[in-house]
Amino acid sequence: MTSFITALKEQQKVISQDKRRLRLVSGTSNPSLANEIASYIGIENVPLVSKRFADGELYIQIQQSIRGCDVFLIQPTCAPVNDSLMELMIMVDACKRASARQVTAVIPYYGYARADRKTAGRESITAKLSANLLVSSGVDRVLAMDLHSAQIQGYFDIPCDHIYGSPVLVDYLSTKKLQDIVVVSPDVGGVARARAFAKQIKDAPLAIIDKRRSAHNVAESLTVIGEVTNKTAILIDDMIDTGGTICAGAELLRKEGAKRVIACASHAVFSPPASKRLSTEGLFEQVVVTNSIPVKKENHFPQLKVLSVANMLGEAILRIHEESSVSSMFR
C-alpha cells in the first residue's frame, strides 16, 4: 500500500517549483519543525531576531527582504500560549510593514481551542477571541492542523485551510500490521473524529467511552459502548494534555478485556503529570503523537512514538503558494 507521504511526493512532481517569492519564517515555539518543513520545500528559513526587553516586551525583526513575497510564518501557539500568540502577531505585523505580498500563519497547534463555546454563564469564547486578534494583526490566511472542533475554522474572517494529522498516524499504524482493531473515541464529542479515523483503517469498528467530566482536566469514565474484548483498541483524540481522559479510558478498556491499547493524538500538550500517567506499566502498548508541539526531553517515556508532520505541512504550504488544491492531498 502506498503511504500518505509517498503519495504526496508523487503529487509534488506535477506542482510548479517556482519558489522565488516563497519565504518561510519560524517563530521560537517549534524551530525544529520549521527546519524540517524548509528541508522538504527546499529552501531555508528567513533569519529572524526575537528577543525580550528588560520588562518582558517582545522585539521581532525580519533579517531579510520579503518585499512582494508570499510569507509563511510557522508558529504553533503552544505553551507558553500567551507568549507564542503575541510573538506570532508581532511577526505578522513586521511582515506587513516589510511589504510582504501575502502573510500566512501556519499554526500546527492552535492554543485556546478548547474554549470554543460557552458551557456556563459569564465565560469567554477565547478560541474566537484569538482568531479575532490574529485577523486584526493583519494576517491574510491561516493554515491550521487538527483544530479541537470544526467550528473554529469559521471563527476566522479570512481563508483558513484545515488539514489533519490522521494520515501520518494511519501510515505508522499500518506498518505494525495490527489485527482485530477497534477504534475508540474517549468521549462522545470525539465520535466524528474517531469515525473518520476508523474509515482509514480498513473500516475498523467503532467504540465509544461514555464519561462525565466533574471539572476541567478531570474525567470520570463510566462505560464502553461497543465490543472491545480481545481487540486491539486504538484510542484516538486530537490532543493529550494532562492525560487524565485518555488514561481513564485505557484503564476501562483493559477492564473490559482489550488485549492491546494504543493511544494516538496529533498534539502532545503533555502538561504535568501526563508523562507519568502515560508511562504507567501495562496501560498503553504505545502512545503515538506528532511533532506539532515540541516534546521536551523530560516528557519522553519508553512507550512514546513521535511522528513528523513536516512533509504534510510543507506540501500544504506549496499548494497554497501555487494556488492549487489543499484538500486533494487527502483523497
- Residue ranges of domains in the chain: 4-165+310-330, 166-307
CA-based max dimension of the chain? 61
CA triple 56-59-61, angle to 5 deg: 165
* Helix/strand/coil for 108: coil
Catalytic position from the list 51, 177, 211, 231: 211
Q: Which of 115, 103, 196 is nearest to 152 (CA)?
A: 115
- Rounded Cα gap, residues 156 and 132, in angstroms: 7
Residue environment code for 112-131, b if the CB has 16+ CB neighbours within 10 A, otherwise e: bbebbeeeeeeeeeebbebb
Torsion 225-226-229-232 (CA) sign: negative
From residue 91, give the alpha-carbon distance in Å to each of 28, 97, 105, 193, 294. 11, 10, 9, 32, 20
- Rounded Cα gap, residues 150 and 200, in angstroms: 19
Instruction: Provide the grid cell at 245.
Output: 481522559
* pLDDT for residue 146: 97
**Is 13 a catalytic site residue?**
no
- Rounded Cα gap, residues 136 and 93, in angstroms: 10
Instruction: Provide the grid cell at 20.
Output: 522565488
* pLDDT for residue 203: 83
Q: What share of the chain is helix, strand, coil (3-state, %, to 5)?
A: 35, 25, 40
Residue environment code for 229-244, b if the CB has 16+ CB neighbours within 10 A, otherwise e: eebbbbbbbbbbbbbb
Residue 177: partners with Cβ closer than 8 Å, 6 or more residues away: none
Instruction: Provide the grid cell at 277.
Output: 500517567
Instruction: Provide the grid cell at 108.
Output: 500546527
Residue type, 214: S
Assess whether the region 4-165+310-330 and the region 166-307 belong to the same CATH fold. Answer: yes
* pLDDT for residue 159: 97
286-290 and 304-307 beta bridge pairing: parallel
Tens-binned pLDDT, residue by residue, of the chain (331 aa): 567 767 766 666 544 556 789 999 999 999 999 999 999 999 999 999 999 999 999 999 999 999 999 999 999 999 999 999 999 999 999 999 999 999 999 999 999 999 999 999 999 999 999 999 999 999 999 999 999 999 999 999 999 999 999 999 999 999 999 999 999 999 888 999 999 999 999 889 999 998 765 666 665 647 999 999 999 999 999 999 999 999 999 999 999 999 999 999 999 999 999 999 999 999 999 999 999 999 999 999 999 999 999 999 999 999 999 999 999 988 7
* Helix/strand/coil for 198: helix
* pLDDT for residue 221: 47
Q: Which CATH number is correct for 4-165+310-330, 3.30.110.30, 3.40.50.2020, 3.40.50.720, 3.30.70.1150?
A: 3.40.50.2020
- CATH code for the domain defined by 166-307: 3.40.50.2020
